[in-house]
Amino acid sequence: MDIVTESDDKTCCFTKAYGHYIEGTGSFLQTNSSVSIDWAFTDDLTDSESLSRLRQLQLRYFTPREIANFHCFPEEFSFPTDVTRKQRYRVLGNSLNAHVVSLLLKYLVS
């Protein structure tokens, strides 16, 4: 499980299974900055203690809009209203950075 904070500048790759599976599908955002990630993951804890500490990190999934922002999708980009959250994660999973793709296309046609 990859956990990032608001001050981090890197995340794991988001896959189409993000929101469905926990391991290996993308990062989680820790919203409680007063608790250390290391404190939550020590080896000598019972399962119950580990779960309690994990809850205190106040983790959440990134929203589809936040993932689109990571990929430099324009602010005016939005999904049709009938597209579910799960479908949005699937479409954004393994996406390429829109800015990088635009630069590559410009290079290829010049």
pLDDT at 106: 94
Give the confidence band of 92 by pLDDT, cuts at 50, 70, 90: very high
Mean pLDDT of 19-38: 90
Cα distance between residue 110 and residue 52, in whole Å: 56
Question: What amino acid occupies position 57?
Answer: L
Q: Tell me the average pLDDT across 92-104.
A: 89
Write the pLDDT tens digit of every residue in 38-90. 888 888 888 899 899 999 999 999 999 999 999 999 999 999 999 999 999 99
Q: Phi, psi (5° rounding) for residue 37?
A: -60, -40
Interval 4-26: pLDDT, tens = 999 998 898 899 999 888 888 99
